[in-house]
Structure 1
Amino acid sequence: MPHLPEEQRALELNDQGLRLMQQRRFDEAIPYFRQAWETAGIVAALNNWATALYHQGKPAEALQVLGQVLDTSLLHPYSRALASRCCAALGDVEEARRHLRQAIRDFDAGRFSLHTHPDGGRAWIEYTILIKEAAADLRDWRLVLDLHSRWPGRELARGAFIAGVAAFNLGKYAQAVRIWERVRDPNWTGPLRAYIDVTHWVERGVVPPFPLDTRLPETGRLRSLTPEEADQLPVEGSLRLLVLAGIFGMAGEKPDEDVPLVAELIRRTGEWGIEFGRRILDSASLPLGLKFGAARALTEAGVFQPGEPIPVVHQGRRIEIFVHAKQLADGPDPELEEMLARARELWHQGKRAEARKLLDRIEEGPVLYPPALLLAADFLRDEGKLDEALIQLDALDRLMPNQPGVLFLMALCHFEMGDLEAAWELAQSIDASRMSPAFQQEVERLKAAIAAELHSWDTHEAYVAAFMDALREEVDERPIRLDLKLATALRRIPVPWLNAAAGRFAIEPHRRRAEREKALAAAMMDPGRLKAVLAEEPPEVRKALDFLLAEGGWVKLHRLTRRFGDQTGDGFYWDGRPPTSPLGRLRALCLVHVGRAQIEGRNYKVAVVPVELRPLLTP
């Protein structure tokens, strides 16, 4: 039906105003909306007029404009939802709730006749976003989720974002992730990836819960802040989430490097930050670089004293690290150098307790003397405590980056651990040009030794791999039931496999195997943690699992390997070298187990998913 001339003119005016409002030119847009309303009484123009005022921070004026339609008996869900937001902004909660209830009633009354709308009701469905925003303003998160679940428009990105925030704030982290993962709008999938990643860390207990808001951080504005402005910015809600995503992203890219941002977040978020710092130290799944940043921030906050041993979990073991607040020595100290020489002499004579006492006297002194820390690390290396030595050397490397003596000892530790690639990279990075000829010769000898081992490794690597595969295949020959129980499955696997799965599920270390099995089983029966762990796997791993589940939870092994490849090269010690094949990755998560079973009178190798996990894993 053609529009009357004044209606056509009003629609054109409204469109002009919308273009300006989309550019946030509210002052210029408002006259067009006002004229459109006055020309033909178009409610959309009135709503846009009020919306522009609301975004200018003028909720009282917006309410005055909306008053021209709120008293009518017509259905105006958008107008009433916007009125609710205005009242909430003015602190009138009761009136905001009244308008919100009416907006919901209006929408429900009109949604069953959407097929009569020229656009099929698309514009009407978009009103759901504003209604959810109004409910979010009132922190009625349960109502937001209820509206999202029963109304159309769940595919609208902004509405889905708000619903995910509601689920997050209610502690329903798996539901929040599901809602956000369904968003297909390319303008939203990138930002929501950060929300999903951080939510997984909250769900796993690494990040303490915190409230989210429904505003996406304006990254452009954040980049334009001066250092003084940034320092005053409260790290709350979505901004806190964005910072957390940055922290975990940097830690994932360079796990051995310090992440200063974590100390800044802990420093600026009070008790929540202190709890976050403690959880970082206790987490089995976070790298050492983050732990140093957290330890430093907690020491600054007075949780630990400078020089006090700080317990942390690293590579499944409890160790201690130290944060020193002493002044760094200006240069060589003759008296201290004499004590170090004496400590070396005592150590080589086998008088290790006396040598340590001398080092303790230096470390308890008024200054931080790096040569003493370097010698202490060398003593640890000589005792075979290579992990502890590397932790101390990592700290020294952060204190004095690229120092030749530190790099040399780090390379030597990695060489003695058999990590030849890391040893070679470190040895190659040593600039010994200003060091003594004797030190330069030591560096060249170390490089030659590493090179010789690398050549030898290339020659024998295939034999080592074949031997590791043979160890695994011995386990695969053990009997297995097709209705395998999870507890039985965890009892029958070797310790390295149990440790590998415990690490992936972020299980804290337990001294007794039975306790570790029990903790791992509990984590695996948690659907949210299962989903989080599987989300980190390549798509082919999920496909292999789905194939197994579609077959009833078990399948003859040759059918699985024919589709998804065998386990050649996956090895045995999965806690140190995780397998790479789809089947191997599933086994390292303890989701799939291999053994021999009697089927129709014949003995077959089979792959089995424990029966309790099958309903939890089925899509």
Structure 2
Amino acid sequence: MRGPENADRICEEAKRLMEKGYFKEAEEMFGEAFGLAPNPASLNNWAVCRFYQGDPEGALQILQPNLASSDLAPFARALAARAYAMLGRNDEALKHLNRAIADFEEGLVRLAPLERNETTTWREYTVILKQAAGDIGKAQLVIDLFRRHEPHHVSAGDGYLAGAAAFNLGRMDQAVSFWSGLSRLEFEAIDRYIDVACNIEAGVFPKFPLEYSFPSRERLMNLESAEDVIKMTRFGSVRMIFLSSLLDPEVMPLDFDEALGQLSVVIEGDAEWGIQLAESLLAHPGAGSELRAAAAAVLTQAGIYSLGEPISIVDDDGTESQIIVESHTISLEATLHSADAFSRASKLICEKEYDKALATLFAALEGDEVDYRIYLAMATALMGKGNLDQAMDILMMLNTIAPEHPLLLLKLAEVCLQRGEAEGALVYLDRIDTRAEGPALKRAVDAIRYRIELERFRPGELGREYAELLRARQEKKMMSVKPKLSQVLRNMPVQWLNGACAVHGIDPREYSRRKERAEELEQLLTDKTALSSALAHLDGDEMSLMKFLMGMGGWARLSEVVKGFGSMAGDGCWWNENPPVSTLGKLVSKALAAVGSSTVDGERTSVVAVPLDLRPMVAEYVNEAEFE
């Protein structure tokens, strides 16, 4: 008996190693166990280890005794199907898969008299059947098998694989539906997958294939070389994590160098998809200036654009603009050419001809060396156009070259003041030594200080303008027409989240992290009793708007909502301090609806949507209210 007992012990240890991704070590142990006590299960696991080391022929060789047996062998035949698929021999793969499905279903018939808990091991084979179907490229078959074998499922892996199949078929709504029901303990990253699927549906990210293997943290932890990293970017599961982190408000945004490095690696791994991703980031308002600049730079490196060629982008506020990738030295000394351009542009700026001024300044960028003042004038023209983020990007770039330059500090203070950030403006002004500069600069500094004092006596004017700008940007953020509540809460400004928490009786000060507040609010709103209470407290106009949205299938174009219920203009952004007064704003402030930009019928348009996971309960409440 020592042989079988030792074999069982070795197999258990080998399984633990296999689960951690140590396939080579596990393979040796399964081979040892088979030598002590030959059995089909040891051969299957031994072959699995060989398969995951990228040796499908070796796996098939190990499986031969099980495949040649007349016994039912669904696992061995499904694994053989996966191995043949890896070799590109799909006809043989499909033959083995069909036999595996037949064996599995015959086994269900034979095991029918047994208690359900006695058939668990057999029913676990539903997972590898789906993996084999997926590997062969039969995504619809994966979903069909899910429906066909659903009463026999043991593992959450079945739902994950069905979601992967829907994702690969381009059915993002269906993928989200499958994945939403998964345990976060078993699939801790599944919310990231859902976010990416929603963003693909909204046109933010390009599509890509997702493999039918389960996400593996160990796979990411065991990378040994730059080549390994590049190869990993070809895996759909790795792309899921990468893409979700790009736009996650909980993740520190990448700076330019980090973003450029990561996008370069992605393009090296898959040029076609990487270029599509970079191009999509240029057109996404939520990408941020650093990420957009890196996308433009990496596309220029890839030869899609030339140095100095204008590249179309969409700014944070949703307006179309251009960015140019240049390579030259910035000089603090004026040249005759740049002095003339600076003079002409300054005159145009005074005349409020900002576009003409920018055209003049862009022309002055030609050459290996560019006057520092050209960029300062660019920032001034952009400020005149209201493109404060682009202006700040240029100024922060100059800040890395000459952080104490008095004209730079003055411009930074002006941008802060236009944003309503008076304290930030004062920080920059205090760094200017007016005694060492001429009277003109001192007068400019004094003028800004006077404007700050005016704002203090006339509070809110500049702040209100900036708050309206932030609110307008939120309306232009990309969003699916069927957004999950978790996605809505993650994407809304923190002021809106804090305000929504307060409305529903949650004190945001009790939770130090934004994520904790969002999770608490999500848990409350997805509770039927709590949601019904929230709906019962809506005023008449809010309930009318909710009924309108539900009557439209849960979402509507913003233009249709504005026509019937008014816009959010004037509601600002600081809803934690000044709650909105518009009907739409009040509904959004309660997280019962969301506003964003989506791709509808091939065109980008602003939409209003009730969170997808709230719709069934909202519909039930609305229907009951109709009959009361």
Give the TM-score taking structure 2 as reference length. Answer: 0.68
Over aligned residue pairs, what C-alpha RMSD do you find? Answer: 5.0
Deviation sequence 1:562-593 (CA, Å, 0-9, x none):
xxxxxxxxx96467516356994634699669
Q: Is the 8 A contact 1:326 1:367 kept in 2?
A: no
- Give the CA deviation at 1:170: 0.8
Q: 2:347 and 2:54 mapped to 1: Cα distance?
A: 75
Equivalence for 1:311: 312
Letter in 2 for 1:83: A
Looking at structure 1, the residues matched to 47 and 349 of structure 2 have their Cα atoms a distance apart, in angstroms, of 83
SS in 1 for 2:314: strand
Q: Give the CA deviation at 1:81.
A: 1.6
Q: Does 1:103 align with 2:105?
A: no
Write out aligned runs for 1:475-490 (5 A): none
Q: Classify 1:14/1:160 alpha carbon distance in 2 versus 1 (closer, same or farther; 3 Å).
A: same
Report the counterpart of residue 475 of structure 1 in structure 2: none
Which one-letter code corresponds to 1:178 in the other structure?
S
> Which residue does 1:283 correspond to in 2?
284
Q: Does 1:151 pair with 2:149?
A: yes
CA distance in 2, matches of 1:199, 1:74: 42
125, 132, 135: which one aligns with 2:133: 135
Are the aligned partners of 2:30 and 2:46 in contact in 1 as well (CA < 8 Å)? yes
Structure 2 contact 78–97 (Cα < 8 Å) conserved: yes
- Which amino acid in structure 2 is aligned with residue 557 of structure 1? D
Structure 2 counterpart of 1:78: 75
Is the CA contact (8 Å cut-off) linking 1:142 and 1:166 kept in structure 2?
A: yes
| Matched-pair contact (CA < 8 Å) for 2:282–2:314 | yes
Task: Summarize the Cα distance change of 1:423–1:183 in structure 2 as closer, same or farther, 3 Å threshold.
Answer: farther
Please tell me whether the aligned partners of residues 80 and 100 of structure 1 are also in contact (alpha carbons under 8 angstroms): yes
Amino acid at match of 1:201: N
Question: 2:571, 2:585 within 8 Å by CA — same for their partners in 1?
Answer: no
Within 1, Cα distance between the matches of 2:28 and 2:266? Answer: 44
Q: Deviations over 1:35-62 (max 9, x none)?
A: 2434xxx332332333344344444444
For the 8 Å contact 1:203–1:528, the answer to whether it is kept is no
CA distance in structure 2 between the partners assigned to 1:120 and 1:263 by the alignment: 50
Which moves more between the two structures, 129-138 or 497-506?
A: 497-506
Q: 1:12 to 1:128 in 2, by over 3 A?
A: same
Which AA in structure 1 matches 2:181? R
Contact 1:164 1:179 in 2 (8 A): yes
Identify the residue that residue 386 of structure 2 maps to in structure 1: 386
Specify the alignment match of 1:26 in structure 2: 26
Aligned residue number for residue 503 of structure 1: 476
- Which amino acid is 2:211 matched to? D
Q: What amino acid sits opposite 1:274 in the alignment?
A: I
- Alpha-carbon displacement from aligned partner over 1:531-560 (angstroms, at most 9, x marks no partner): 954775646478569679858987663999
CA distance in 2, matches of 1:130, 1:351: 67
What is the aligned counterpart of 2:379 among 374, 377, 392? 377
Aligned twin of 1:125: 123
The superposition leaves residues 430-454 of structure 1 with CA deviations (integer Å, 9 ceiling, x where unpaired) of: 5869974769857974785576367
The answer to whether the 8 A contact 2:30-2:43 is kept is no
Q: In structure 1, what is the Cα distance between the partners aligned to 2:279 and 2:103?
A: 49
Q: Give matches, 1:152-551, under 5 Å.
A: 152=150, 156-184=155-183, 186=185, 188-189=187-188, 191-215=189-213, 216=215, 221=220, 224-227=223-226, 230=229, 235-249=234-248, 253-254=252-253, 259-261=259-261, 263-264=263-264, 267-268=267-268, 269-335=270-336, 338-339=339-340, 342-343=343-344, 346=347, 359=361, 362-365=364-367, 367-381=369-383, 384-387=384-387, 390-398=389-397, 400-401=399-400, 403-404=403-404, 405-420=407-422, 422-424=424-426, 436=437, 445=446, 448-449=449-450, 452=453, 455-456=456-457, 460=459, 502-504=475-477, 506=479, 526-527=481-482, 533=488, 536=491, 538=518, 540=521, 550=532
Q: Secondary structure at the match of 1:116?
A: coil
Counterpart-to-counterpart distance in 1, 2:435 and 2:223: 43
Instruction: Identify the residue that residue 577 of structure 1 maps to in structure 2.
Output: 573
| 2:507 corresponds to | none
Query: How far apart, CA to CA, are the structure 1 residues paired with 2:11 and 2:228?
Result: 38
Structure 1 residues 28, 275: closer, same or farther in 2, change over 3 A?
closer
Letter paired with 1:503? K
Instruction: For 2:288 and 2:142, locate their aligned partners in 1 and report how far apart those are by CA, in whole Å.
Output: 37
Say whether the 8 Å CA contact 2:199–2:478 is kept in structure 1: no
Read off the aligned partner of 1:376 and give its amino acid letter.
Answer: M
1:150–1:339 Cα change, 3 Å = same
Is the CA contact 1:343–1:355 (under 8 Å) kept in the aligned structure 2?
A: yes
Greater Cα radius of gyration, structure 1 or 2: 1
Distance 2:534 2:395 in 1: 54
The answer to whether the 8 Å contact 2:249/2:490 transfers is: no
Q: Which amino acid aligns with 2:315?
A: H
Task: Give deviations 1:499-521, integer Å, cap 9, x for gaps.
Answer: 57742555xxxxxxxxxxxxxxx
Q: Match of 2:32, as an amino acid?
A: Y
Contact 2:123/2:153 (<8 A) preserved: no
Matched residues, percent identical?
25
For residue 46 of structure 2, what is the aligned residue in structure 1? 49
- Report the residue type matching 2:198 in the other structure: H
Question: For residues 398 and 618 of structure 1, do their structure 2 counterparts lie closer, same or farther at Cα, with a shift above 3 Å needed?
Answer: farther
State the number of aligned residues. Answer: 535
User: Shift of the alpha carbon at 1:416?
Assistant: 3.1
- Taking the aligned partners of 2:449 and 2:34, their CA distance within structure 1 comes to 82
The worse-fitting range, judged by mean Cα deviation, of 66-75 and 205-214 is 66-75
| 1:378 aligned partner, one-letter code | T
Aligned position for 2:37: 37
Flag structure 2 segments of 5+ consecutive residues without an equivalent: 493-517, 544-566, 595-608, 621-628
Distance 1:448 1:320 in 2: 32
Letter in 2 for 1:332: E
How far is the alpha carbon of 1:9 from its aligned partner? 5.8
Cα deviation digits, residues 196-241 of structure 1 (max 9, x gap): 2222211111111111223436566567544466457664533333
Q: 1:443 to 1:376 in 2, by over 3 A?
A: same
C-alpha displacement of 1:305: 3.9
Q: Distance in 1 between matches of 2:433 and 2:569?
A: 37
Q: Which amino acid aligns with 2:275?
A: I
Residue in structure 2 matching 1:557, options 539, 543, 546? 539
**1:101 positional shift:** 1.4
Give the distance between the partners of 1:265 and 1:83, measured in 2 at CA. 34
The 8 Å contact of residues 549 and 618 in structure 1, kept in 2 or not, is answered as no
Say if 1:208 and 1:276, in contact at 8 Å, map to a contact too. yes
Query: What amino acid sits opposite 1:121 in the alignment?
Result: T
CA distances 1:214-269 after superposition (whole Å, capped 9, x unpaired): 34365665675444664576645333333323332489644997732564267444
Secondary structure of the residue that 1:75 maps to in structure 2?
coil
**Partner SS for 2:118:** coil
Distance in 2 between residues matched to 1:256 and 1:61, nearest whole Å: 45
Does structure 2 conserve the Cα–Cα contact (< 8 Å) formed by 1:548 and 1:554?
A: no
Distance of 1:397 and 1:316 partners within structure 2: 19
Which residue matches 1:94?
91
1:606-617 matches, cutoff 5 A: none
In the TM superposition, residue 302 of structure 1 has moved relative to its aligned partner by: 4.2
| TM-score of the aligned structures, taking structure 1 as reference length | 0.69
Equivalence for 2:599:
none
Deviation at 1:325, TM superposition (A): 2.1
Deviation at 1:339, TM superposition (A): 3.5
Asked whether the 8 Å contact 1:26–1:56 carries over to 2, the reply is: no
- Contact 2:329–2:368 (CA under 8 A) maintained in structure 1: no
Q: Does the C-alpha gap of structure 1 residues 154 and 292 become closer, same or farther in structure 2, counting only changes over 3 Å?
A: farther
